Chains A and B, each alone.
Chain A
Amino acid sequence: MSDHFDAIVVGAGPSGNACAYVMAKAGLNVLQIDRGEYPGSKNVQGAILYADALERIIPDFRDDAPLERHVIEQRFWMLSEKSHTGAQYRSDEFNEERPNRYTILRAQFDKWFSRQVRAAGAVLITETTVKDLIKDDAGRVIGVITDREGGPIYANAVVLAEGVNGIVGQRAKLRPEIKANHVALAVKETLFLPEETVRERFNLAGEEDGVVIEVLGSVSSGMVGTGFLYTNKESISIGVGCLLSDFAETKIAPYALLDKFKQHPSVAPLLKGAEMKEYVAHLIPEGGYDAIPRLTGDGWLIVGDAGQFVNAVHREGSNLAMTSGRLAAETLIQLRAEGKPVTEATLKLYRDKLADSFVMKDLKKYRKVPRLLEGNRQFFTTYPAVVNKAMQMFLRVDGVDKASKEAAMMRGVAKARGGWWGVVTDIFKMARAWR
């Protein structure tokens, strides 16, 4: 193996694979290093794949990528202890030739993605943990040190695609430690059911049709968090995630929260008889725009979750990861073609590309949301409870006249927030953060 590369990519998740693939395809000499037995064996996600981001890298990925189901229906649930009030959108238009979103199992998908990376010409070494970065006297990153024998490996650029819990960048003091209120701790189980059972329970006609349920309310037991349920081909991914700082404060066990969610009367029938085959935990970047660390420096750049590129409002992450990886690759390709060194100054190109893309535009748009939600727990507690109570009142026929019921419902909404002023303020706050 050569000991000098155009680029070393640390990590083989969506951002690292996207970056390594695009660079290798353009003829760069790329080394990718992953800790896992195979790429994917250390990686966790819900998981939804957004086709567009991958299509821009591998247009015909649908031919052989391991995809579970494409999403034809999205349900949003506001949960209270015994009820849920939902909105759902289902469209046959999602049954298209090139579907927009898929459920995937990351261990399998990442393995496939990595095969494409290697076929494009990148060198991959697995079962290898990067311990630290090597810097020259001027502080420029020039390579990596791993836990393998064979000494340091050098490159013109090191791409940190090491994920949310990446510690290489922190050890090398390139990025600060993550704050506990900037990440959600999520736990998930993969529950197996026969394929036809998944279809029947979720009212799906085709073997490849899928449903996604996103859940807010009592699922987070007062913490800032959400639950989710995704249909895979022969399994269901069900999980819940809340701010790590909230878990530390409430001391609620994440798995207890997940069990409670699984036992909810709206959820339990969907899971009946399923066999649990894996239980995982992972952090999700939730700090948004203001939590993004410095992304570039002399000889290095950050992509994916390591850069906090997650749109928590829309539950998007893997697409931001792949896009940032692709833009980083395009930057390094251009710099090489122009014979320019990889420096903080020349990497302005990467920062500009990110700023021009949906990645930064979306994160900027929702910049105020994380702090708003952290300071306004009523969006997770009071409102879902009140809405469910109002629905119950609306639907239950019990001899009370409708005008009295409506008045009681409205009083209930106002009372929950200490009067109408509280409700109006909440609406205003949310609208302002959304803008």
Chain B
Amino acid sequence: MTDKTNKTGPQMEERLYQNRYLVDEGNPHVTIHSQPGGDSAALKSLTEICPAGCYRTGEDGRVEVVPDGCMECGSCRILTQATGEIEWSYPRGGFGILFKFG
């Protein structure tokens, strides 16, 4: 998880630490289908704007996703609908984030 734009506030790990999750190990509910021509601007923007910091640029320069901290907002799904780079579904029933206060 990256948090490079955030100089003064808490780091993402700290921020998400208070949240409750039941991670469906081995069944990520968000996956990237990398397109041959390189990542779209929309996909790249997610490394900056995903509110849970789930996206980062890997060593090969391509965008990667680790959706363990996902808050299931759907922003990435909507932003990449035109390019089809992301396959997004809700976690299996009972898994994913569990809001304490919502």
Contact = CB atoms under 8 A, between A and B. Distances in A.
Interface stretch (B30-38, B45-53, B58-66): B45-53
Contacts of B91: 35, 129
Contact of A164 (B3, B10, B74): B74
A385 to B, nearest CB: 22
Contacts, number: 150
A280 B102 contact: yes
A251 B55 CA distance: 13
A314 interface: no
A185 B73 contact: yes
A258 B96 CA distance: 23
Interface string A251-281: 1111110110011000000000000111111
Contacts of B88: 167
A183 B100 CA distance: 24
Contacts of A105: 101-102
Given A244-B78, A259-B6, A253 B48 contact: yes
A60 interface: no
Interface string B1-42: 001011011101001101100100000000000000000001
A58 interface: no
B28 to A, nearest CB: 15
Interface residues of A, number: 57
A179 B99 CA distance: 26
Given A185-B75, A247-B49, A278-B18, A36 B100 contact: no
A234 to B, nearest CB: 11
B102 A253 contact: no
Contacts of B57: none
Given A35-B90, A146-B93, A252-B49, A277 B75 contact: no
Contact of B100 (A45, A107, A148, A187): A107
Interface in A118-145: 126-129
Interface in A184-198: 185, 187, 190
Given A106-B101, A190-B101, A283-B75, A129 B92 contact: yes
A128 B77 CA distance: 21
A253 B2 CA distance: 11
B81 interface: yes
Contacts of B15: 255, 276, 279
Most buried by A among B18, B22, B72, B78: B78
Contact of B99 (A106, A259, A283): A106
Interface string A32-43: 000111001111
A44 B8 contact: no
Nearest to A258: B9
A278 B51 contact: no
B101 A180 contact: no
B99 A251 contact: no
Contacts of A41: 98-99, 102
Contacts of A259: 6, 8-10
Contacts of B79: 180, 244, 248
B77 to A, nearest CB: 7
Nearest to B48: A251
A165 B74 contact: yes
Interface string A44-64: 110100000000000000000
Nearest to A177: B81
A341 B79 CA distance: 38
Nearest to A248: B45
A278 B101 contact: yes
A129 to B, nearest CB: 5
A185 B73 CA distance: 8
Contact of A147 (B49, B93, B96): B93
Nearest to B29: A129
A279 B102 contact: no
24 contacts: A36-B94, A40-B99, A42-B97, A43-B102, A45-B102, A107-B99, A147-B92, A165-B72, A165-B74, A167-B90, A177-B78, A177-B81, A183-B78, A185-B73, A252-B49, A253-B6, A253-B51, A262-B9, A276-B15, A279-B15, A281-B52, A282-B73, A283-B74, A283-B78
Given A259-B8, A259-B9, 4 more contacts: A37-B98, A44-B99, A247-B45, A254-B49
- Complex A-B, nearest 4 residue pairs according to Cβ-Cβ distance, in ascending order: A259-B9, A127-B94, A165-B74, A106-B102
